[in-house]
């Protein structure tokens, strides 16, 4: 389609005018479609995509202005640029009527052939560029679909052996007869859990980038959701205490699974990258009327060189050996989830106050139906 000739429509009731225009405009990358009346032109427009229409104003039956009005009234042809040609004396009111009918230009005969060729070249190039962009869009969509399918297959196929490794590690930890065996089993378990998190993050990233993680908002209480996430982390016995505080009304219409993931990512990030000493703070502020804010804080300062890459996919969320504990997708996914809800994520970090990530979430999200029936944020 991108290499096929561009169609240009010529409408004129005089044969020698059509012949002259055909000779002027025909070339390998242009196909000239010819009609001797407005009715014949409409028939061609139903069968072919046209990049430009060159219309004679004075035609019997349906004149050029009437044909242009019909073209502008049809969704199929409303976008087609129109150049009017006329042999009548130059008249400002007639020219204005032509532009009012939707013309991009109005030429009086006799016209300079080079001027018409130059104008036509512009629309031919625009059509070619439009086709290239459309082809690139199709290719991009196909790549995103293939990427998501690959991630889904990988995550499914990897979870089964990972589950077996985790179960085996748990068994070895319970039955180990010496300290060295217990240490190795613990290391295997921790590495497997880290790999499981990486697999989940890759799959979620593929869905987010492919636009296939639609919002399903419903009324939830952020404070209750945060307590559930904290309870899940508390069962992992990380050695750090998670302190939860809440004020005001924390109810809003959000996607439960996505908000759960965002909160989990922030708490996990604080546990992994925060200073060894000190508690993890989780605070829900529902005092504002339209926005609920969630703050997750920990001791420790983020290095200045890390800040520019903090929310980038596969960026470093820490320094030294700790930066190798994940793929750097956690905070990027948090930011994308916040944006899907019309919110934002910010961070403050200093040696004295530690690090605090804040998610500001509007209590409601305006949705519109997407092309595949899914709901997306407007």
Task: Show the tokens assigned to 37.
Answer: 């009346």
In the structure, what pLDDT confidence band is assigned to residue 324 with cuts at 50, 70 and 90? Answer: very low
User: Could you give phi then psi for residue 105, rounded to 5 degrees?
Assistant: -160, 160
Domain with CATH 3.30.565.10 in the chain: 217-377
Given pLDDT bands bounded at 50, 70 and 90, which one contains residue 378? very low
Name the average pLDDT for the chain.
82
Gyration radius of the chain over CA positions: 32
What is the reported pLDDT for 89? 64
Contact between residue 148 and residue 206 where contact means Cβ atoms under 8 Å apart? yes
**Cα 188 from Cα 364, distance rounded (Å):** 43
Task: Give long-range contacts, CB 8 A cutoff, 24+ apart: 117-123.
Answer: 117/24, 117/25, 119/83, 120/8, 120/25, 120/30, 120/52, 120/54, 123/8, 123/51, 123/52, 123/81
User: How confident is the model over 271-303, as pLDDT tens digits?
Assistant: 888 887 788 999 999 999 999 999 999 998 888
What region does 278 belong to: left with phi over 0, alpha with psi -120 to 50, or beta? Answer: left
Q: Does the pLDDT of residue 320 top 70, yes or no?
A: no
Question: Is residue 343 pLDDT above 90, yes or no?
Answer: yes
Angstrom CA distances, 39 to 44, 58, 60, 156, stand at 9, 14, 11, 59
Mean pLDDT of 247-254: 94
Asked whether 135 and 4 are in contact (CB, 8 A), the reply is no
Which one has a higher pLDDT value, 209 or 23? 23
Residues of 54-88 as b/e, b for ≥16 C-beta within 10 angstroms?
bbbbebeebbbbebbeebeeeeebeebbbbbbbee
Q: Which residue has the higher pLDDT, 196 or 256?
A: 256
Question: What is the pLDDT, as a whole number, of residue 213?
Answer: 63
Please give the share of the chain, as a percent, with pLDDT higher than 70: 83
* The pLDDT of residue 285: 96
Between 142 and 337, where is the model more confident?
337
Residue 336 has pLDDT above 80, yes or no: yes
**CATH 3.40.50.2300 intervals, the chain:** 6-111
Q: How much is the pLDDT for 40?
A: 92
What six digits make up the tokens of 110?
């006799």
Query: Is the confidence at residue 315, as pLDDT, over 80?
Result: no
Q: Please give the pLDDT value at position 209.
A: 61
- 370 pLDDT band, cuts 50/70/90, is very low
Selected from 3.40.449.10, 3.60.15.10, 3.40.50.2300, 2.40.340.10, the CATH number assigned to the domain covering 6-111 reads 3.40.50.2300
The residue that leads in pLDDT, 1 or 195, is 195
pLDDT digits (tens, 9 = 90+) for 126-182: 988 988 898 888 888 887 777 767 766 766 677 778 888 888 988 888 888 888 888
Instruction: Count CB atoms within 10 A of the CB of residue 308.
Output: 9
User: What per-residue confidence (pLDDT) applies to 238?
Assistant: 60
**Mean pLDDT along residues 233-248:** 81
pLDDT tens digits, one per residue of 60-70:
888 888 898 88
pLDDT confidence of 375, banded at 50, 70, 90?
A: very low
84-109 pLDDT tens trace? 888 776 666 767 777 777 678 888 87
Regarding predicted confidence, which is higher, 76 or 97? 76
pLDDT exceeds 60 at position 377 = no
Check residue 373 and give its pLDDT.
36
Nearest CA among 4, 236, 253, 223 for reference residue 128: 4
User: Looking up tokens 């010819």, which residue turns up?
Assistant: 34
Residue 20 clears pLDDT 80, i.e. is over it: yes
* Lowest mean pLDDT, pick from 21-30, 200-209, 260-269, 305-314: 200-209
Residue 314 has pLDDT above 70, yes or no: no
| CATH for the stretch 217-377 | 3.30.565.10
Res. 372 pLDDT band, cuts 50 70 90? very low
Alpha helices in the chain (DSSP H): 15-25, 38-47, 64-73, 92-100, 113-175, 179-209, 222-234, 256-273, 330-340
Q: Is the model's pLDDT at 322 over the cut of 70?
A: no
pLDDT at 221 over 50: yes
Average pLDDT over residues 203-223: 75
């Amino acid at each position: 389609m991108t290499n096929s000739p561009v169609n240009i429509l010529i409408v004129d009731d005089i044969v020698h005018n059509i012949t002259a225009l055909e000779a002027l405009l025909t070339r390998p990358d242009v196909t000239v479609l010819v009609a001797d009346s407005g009715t014949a032109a409409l028939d061609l427009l139903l069968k072919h995509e046209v990049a430009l229409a060159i219309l004679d104003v004075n035609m019997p039956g349906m004149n050029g202005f009437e044909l242009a009005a019909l073209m502008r009234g049809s969704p199929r042809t409303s976008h087609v640029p129109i150049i009017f040609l006329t042999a009548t004396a130059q008249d400002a009111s007639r020219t204005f009527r032509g532009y009012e009918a939707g013309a991009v230009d109005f030429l009086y005969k006799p016209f300079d052939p080079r001027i018409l060729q130059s104008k036509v070249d512009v629309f031919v190039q625009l059509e070619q560029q439009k086709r290239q962009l459309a082809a690139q869009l199709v290719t991009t969509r196909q790549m995103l679909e293939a990427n998501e399918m690959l991630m889904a297959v990988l995550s499914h196929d990897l979870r089964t052996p990972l589950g077996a490794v985790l179960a085996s590690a748990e068994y070895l930890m319970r039955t180990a007869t010496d300290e060295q065996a217990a240490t190795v089993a613990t290391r295997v378990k921790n590495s497997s859990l880290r790999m499981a998190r990486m697999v989940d993050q890759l799959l979620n990233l593929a869905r987010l980038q492919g636009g296939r993680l639609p919002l399903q908002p419903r009324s939830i209480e952020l404070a209750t959701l945060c307590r559930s996430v904290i309870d899940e982390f508390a069962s992992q016995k990380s050695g750090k205490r998670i302190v939860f505080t809440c004020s005001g009304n924390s109810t809003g219409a959000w996607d439960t699974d996505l908000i759960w993931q965002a909160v989990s990512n922030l708490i996990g990030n604080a546990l992994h990258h925060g200073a060894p000493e000190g508690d993890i703070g989780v605070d829900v502020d529902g005092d504002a009327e339209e926005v609920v804010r969630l703050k997750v804080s920990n001791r420790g300062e983020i290095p200045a060189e890390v800040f520019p890459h903090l929310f980038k996919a596969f960026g470093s969320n820490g320094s030294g050996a700790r930066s190798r504990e994940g793929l750097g997708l956690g905070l990027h996914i948090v930011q994308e989830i916040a944006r899907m809800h019309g919110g934002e994520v910010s961070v403050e970090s200093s040696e004295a106050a530690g690090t605090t990530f804040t998610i500001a979430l509007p209590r409601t999200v305006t949705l519109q139906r997407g092309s595949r029936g899914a709901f997306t944020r407007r």
